[in-house]
């Protein structure tokens, strides 16, 4: 073969957008190699550390290959941020680039098959992907203005969600489907717990397990992601004496909604009878440990905790009036109860973050067929999400707009289209710099409308197609009519 890997160093980020190949995307990954893009480097900064994607002295990524670590990383990234991105499409983009570089060759210098790319993708180091994601998070945290912090504190949001994936024996063994589903009719199910930053929306860290692992147990694996002085906000599913005590021992304060059953059993007798109050009470350690705690862990818990309990009433026209009880270890009376209530209301924003990463980046249903590749696909979704968040933060800081008003989907679409617009401008740094500035301006000038009190029920208006449901393994279903019609009109094709 006449070619070698080095000319592909400028290729990896070209896959950032849709074809034609984008010079803007090249800038995202090759700031250090492309001296002609120095102006773009000053405008954006090094989002992805190139040292992590360089060839290693030894191991899988030490040899000069067509699918180098840099090429495979950005190809995989393109699959994640492109709707219905397949391995075949990723390989075709590499073929298109090679044809562009070698127009006089009679045949393409690479095979159209996906085997080589899939094998190289399976060798992506997970620790490198974790370091890249941590770099993106640290970059966003370092650019948070101090005056925007909540009473001088970094606030973290916590919640869990569920994911699905292809029905393969390996995935079923690692993440089994629900026991209520028949074999061959369900899909492997994963529970994911994530910690997000309130101000930037960054996914700080996540943990996952099978559907039988409780979210509070997965949360214990994320305690290391919280720093001293942070404030964690979570819903009632994570509220427990052990969680409050463990976080407080690490210097992390908590703000969670208190379940009614714990109000009655634990501190019900200590609370006033009024609908609205703000009191400090003593929360005693439960008499029995939970199944997730070991006897040693239970013995290390303090005998009691001083906690602040706030109850307030939500009365809004068109909605039912309800009382909400929240508990926090913030005992500072200079923080009014109304600020605590408003902060807990903002916790709902984590649902939007999960929607962005699951729907807009298509993580709701993962596509890889083995547990090892599922692990890599998850991390690539985290990287893609945080990278778009970096662009949104850059636009907000550059044009002095409110970050939480910017649209994630709008930013994603804008980056794709401006990536296409820079085709052929790779040798024109001034043109690329002007396009980047225009892209940031377009993102900043398209905020979401402010619609307080808006109600969006999770219902569908468009009906799904009238197909039968799979009630047994596909090879046992037998012939069926094209549509779901009466069994009497098709006796020969009825379900057995």
Q: pLDDT tens digits, residue range 226-281?
A: 999 999 999 988 988 889 999 999 999 999 998 777 666 767 667 787 888 899 98
Per-residue confidence (pLDDT) for residue 105, from 0 to 100: 60
How many whole angstroms separate alpha carbon 254 and alpha carbon 343?
12
The secondary structure of 304-339 as a DSSP string is: EEEEEEEEEEE--TTS--EEEEEEES---TTS-HHH
Residue with tokens 């067929």: 369
404 neighbors 144 (Cβ within 8 angstroms): no
For helices 429-444 and 371-399, the axis angle rounded to 10 degrees is 90
Once rounded to an integer, what is the mean pLDDT over residues 368-375? 94
How many whole angstroms separate alpha carbon 66 and alpha carbon 58?
17
- Quick check: helix, strand or coil at residue 166? coil
Q: How confident is the model at residue 100 (pLDDT cuts 50, 70, 90)?
A: low
Residue 411 or residue 90, greater confidence: 411
pLDDT tens, 435-493?
Answer: 888 889 999 998 988 877 777 777 888 888 877 788 888 788 777 766 655 544 444 44
DSSP 356: I
Work out the percent of the chain whose per-residue pLDDT is above 70: 81
Q: Is the dihedral of CA 455, 458, 459, 463 positive or negative?
A: positive
The DSSP bridge pattern shows strands 277-284 and 155-164 to be unpaired
- 34-38, 42-46, 337-341, 457-461: which has the minimum mean pLDDT? 34-38
399 neighbors 441 (Cβ within 8 angstroms): yes
Residue 68 has pLDDT above 70, yes or no: yes
């Amino acid at each position: 073969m006449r070619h070698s890997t080095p000319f592909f160093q400028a290729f990896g980020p070209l896959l950032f957008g849709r074809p034609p190949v984008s010079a803007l995307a090249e800038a995202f990954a090759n700031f250090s190699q492309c001296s002609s893009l120095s102006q773009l480097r000053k405008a954006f900064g090094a989002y992805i550390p190139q040292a992590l994607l360089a060839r290693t002295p030894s191991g899988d990524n030490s040899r000069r290959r067509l699918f180098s670590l840099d090429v495979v990383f950005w190809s995989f990234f393109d699959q994640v941020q492109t709707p219905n991105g397949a391995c075949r499409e990723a390989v075709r983009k590499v073929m298109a680039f090679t044809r562009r570089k070698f127009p006089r060759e009679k045949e393409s210098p690479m095979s159209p098959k996906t085997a080589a790319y899939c094998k190289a993708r399976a060798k992506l180091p997970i620790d490198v992907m974790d370091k890249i994601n941590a770099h993106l998070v640290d970059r966003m945290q370092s650019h948070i203005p101090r005056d925007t912090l909540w009473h001088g504190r970094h606030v973290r949001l916590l919640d869990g969600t569920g994911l699905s994936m292809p029905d393969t024996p390996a995935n079923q063994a690692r993440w089994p489907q629900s026991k209520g589903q028949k074999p061959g009719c369900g899909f492997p199910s994963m529970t994911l717990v994530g910690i997000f930053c309130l101000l930037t929306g960054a996914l700080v860290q996540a943990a996952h397990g099978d559907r039988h692992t409780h979210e509070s147990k997965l949360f214990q694996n994320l305690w290391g992601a919280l720093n001293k002085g942070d404030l964690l906000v979570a819903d009632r599913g994570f509220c427990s004496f052990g969680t409050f005590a463990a976080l407080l021992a690490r210097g992390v304060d908590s703000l969670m909604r208190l379940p009614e059953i714990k109000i009655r059993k634990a501190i019900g007798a200590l609370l006033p009878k009024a609908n609205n109050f703000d009191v400090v009470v003593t929360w005693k350690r439960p008499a029995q440990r939970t199944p997730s705690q070991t006897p040693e862990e239970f013995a290390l818990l303090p005998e009691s905790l001083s906690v602040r309990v706030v109850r307030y009433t939500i009365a809004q026209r068109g909605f039912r009036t309800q009382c909400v009880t929240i508990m926090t270890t913030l005992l500072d009376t200079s923080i009014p109860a109304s600020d605590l209530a408003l902060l807990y209301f903002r916790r709902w924003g984590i649902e939007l973050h999960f929607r962005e990463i699951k729907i807009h980046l298509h993580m709701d249903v993962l596509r890889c067929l083995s547990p090892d590749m599922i692990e890599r696909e998850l991390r690539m979704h985290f990287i893609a999400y945080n990278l778009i968040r970096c662009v949104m933060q850059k636009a907000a800081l550059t044009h002095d707009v409110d970050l939480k008003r910017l649209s994630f989907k709008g930013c994603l679409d804008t980056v794709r289209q401006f990536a296409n617009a820079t085709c052929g401008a790779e040798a024109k740094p001034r043109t690329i710099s002007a396009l980047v500035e225009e892209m940031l301006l377009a993102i900043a000038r398209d905020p979401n409308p402010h619609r307080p009190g808006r109600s969006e029920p999770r219902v569908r208006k468009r009906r799904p197609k009238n197909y039968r449901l799979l009630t047994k393994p596909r090879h046992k279903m037998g012939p069926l009519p094209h549509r779901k019609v009466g069994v009497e009109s098709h006796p020969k094709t009825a379900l057995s």
